[in-house]
Amino acid sequence: MNENTAILKTGWNFDNSYARLPDVFFTRLAPTPVRSPKLIIFNERLAASLGLNVQALRSDEGAAAFAGNRIPEGAEPLAQAYAGHQFGHFTMLGDGRAILLGEQITPEGERFDIQLKGSGRTPYSRGGDGRAALGPMLREYIISEAMHALGIPTTRSLAVVTTGQGIQRETELPGAVLTRVASSHIRVGTFQYAARWGTVQDLRTLADYTLQRHFPEAGADDNRYLSLFREVVRRQASLIAKWQLVGFIHGVMNTDNMALSGETIDYGPCAFMDAFDPATVFSSIDVQGRYAYGNQPYIAAWNLARLAEALLPLLHDDEEQAVKLAEEALADFTKQFQSQWLAGMRAKLGLAGAQAEDEILIKDLLDMMQKHRADYTNTFRALTFAKPEETAMSGASEFTEWQKRWRERLSGQRESEDVSQQLMRSSNPAVIPRNHRVEEALEAAVDRGDYSVMERLLKVLADPYAHSPEQAEYCKLPEPSNRPYRTFCGT
């Protein structure tokens, strides 16, 4: 077989624009091969949409490629350099356990990063082993795919391969490599790195590259770097509003974990909130609650301020003017977040149009949910299907009164009941990746090599707004436990 048929066979079609950036932005480096790669989960629909040949990659060929044992034709593997504020402290980071293979150009002409995570040590690894454990990689697969199905911009998961090698954590764990697909891996931390360790020309090159890759229409603006910042602010406001509306808690919103594309990135200790409480934190390392559910919008704005700082030299020759421009643009975050969140909340309650009293109606509901420890997802589901008796607030007179106000608001709008119920059905998911369900799937996979539990879960999560009978089982809450649910970074 000649080389051309090999390309046709697997469908890889790389064009590696990141590798054409100045050298400071990366280190060329191949993944470290693993002992015995085994493809244990492969996202065939995603593969097909990328123009990959599902048949060809379902084999040892795919296992070798997704383990980093065989570099696909046209790939130019590299580790990206970046910095970041971790829990508020600035530090040099970079891909310490990931390799960007390159950018796959799809049949539609779209460009996606193909990254292997858990692919071995790099110059940025510091003390780490460059590897990843199976459990956390499957967790990223499940949650990122669930987010995608919920309609939330996110990196995707193409495959997980086990390596046949153990990795040492608190105990020895099975090693794995995740193939991640992203619009790009340009992070706030990439700009911080350029501003701190590159020249102004490097910074400008990165900004122009980002404009071209994500915001081409802004490239011709008078102050295109200000436009870049504004666009990033807009995308983050929209993203964080979507997180809040489904109760997603990222868990580690460090500036290196915020992508300029506006996609959710770096699924570590993330989890979905069950009982509504803005103070909810699951991550074992977030002792201060910095990244609690209710703080996410503030943290996003804080991170964007760090991006603005990095961009200052490009915004205006005069620093004072540059600061002023950045501050004005950043002030938009709160306004945009608020309006997107409010629009989303109205949809969750079936409210058409906008009325002044909506905000207080929403606030009163959330306050009540917090007081009664009502499950976030199931409360909106119960309201959607007119089953208030299924909420933890059932029987409380304040809830009865609230429902009366809500129904009055609904009956005052022109839209029919059917229309508002449709709106609610498509705004309130039946299923989210509930913590106990995710754990159950991981336990079966990691401890017993049984992937059927995860496959069933993935199937249910793939259509979260279906409200189908088979989803009912997945809406149930876990048995009460006196131990709070905890997530770990899983590095």
Q: How far is the CB of 191 from ligand AMP (least distance, A)?
A: 16
Q: Which of residues 260-299 bind Mg ion (CB under 5 A)?
A: 266
CA distances from 89 to 36, 83, 84, 255, 303 (A): 39, 10, 8, 10, 12
CA dist., res. 154 & res. 311, Å (int): 24
> Considering beta carbons, is residue 198 or 251 the nearer one to Mg ion?
251
187, 82 contact by CB (below 8 A): yes
> Considering beta carbons, is residue 115 or 378 the nearer one to Mg ion?
115
- DSSP H helices, 128-180, are 134-149
> Considering beta carbons, is residue 154 or 378 the nearer one to ligand AMP?
154
Q: Which stretch binds ligand AMP (CB under 6 A): 102-110, 126-134, 148-156, 365-373?
A: 126-134
77, 10 contact by CB (below 8 A): no
The catalytic residue among 95, 113, 202, 256 is 256
Q: How far is the CB of 490 from ligand AMP (least distance, A)?
A: 9
Total residues at interface with Mg ion (CB under 5 A)? 3
76 secondary structure, DSSP code: -
* Nearest residue to 65 via CA among 7, 112, 23, 19: 7
130 near ligand AMP, judged by CB under 6 A: yes
287, 244 contact by CB (below 8 A): no
Exactly one of 97, 139, 156, 306 binds ligand AMP (CB under 6 A); that residue is: 97
CA dist., res. 424 & res. 344, Å (int): 10
Exactly one of 93, 207, 232, 368 binds ligand AMP (CB under 6 A); that residue is: 93
144 near ligand AMP, judged by CB under 6 A: no
In degrees to the nearest 10, what's the CA dihedral of 55, 58, 59, 63?
A: 140
449 near ligand AMP, judged by CB under 6 A: no
Exactly one of 69, 122, 162, 257 binds Mg ion (CB under 5 A); that residue is: 257
Exactly one of 266, 274, 277, 286 binds ligand AMP (CB under 6 A); that residue is: 266
Q: How far is the CB of 250 from Mg ion (least distance, A)?
A: 11
DSSP 338-387: HHHHHHHHHHHTT--S--TTHHHHHHHHHHHHHHTT-BHHHHHHHHHTT-
CA dist., res. 359 & res. 342, Å (int): 7
Total residues at interface with ligand AMP (CB under 6 A)? 18
Q: Which stretch binds ligand AMP (CB under 6 A): 38-46, 58-66, 95-103, 218-226?
A: 95-103
Q: Which stretch binds ligand AMP (CB under 6 A): 20-28, 233-241, 251-259, 301-309?
A: 251-259
28, 19 contact by CB (below 8 A): yes
> Considering beta carbons, is residue 48 or 489 the nearer one to ligand AMP?
489
* Nearest residue to 308 via CA among 296, 290, 292, 322: 322
Q: Which stretch binds Mg ion (CB under 5 A): 5-13, 230-238, 257-265, 472-480?
A: 257-265
Task: For residue 256, indicate whether it is catalytic.
Answer: yes
491 near ligand AMP, judged by CB under 6 A: yes
What residues are annotated to the active site? 256
Q: Which residues of the chain form contacts with ligand AMP (CB under 6 A)?
A: 93-97, 124-125, 128-131, 252, 256-257, 266, 268, 489, 491
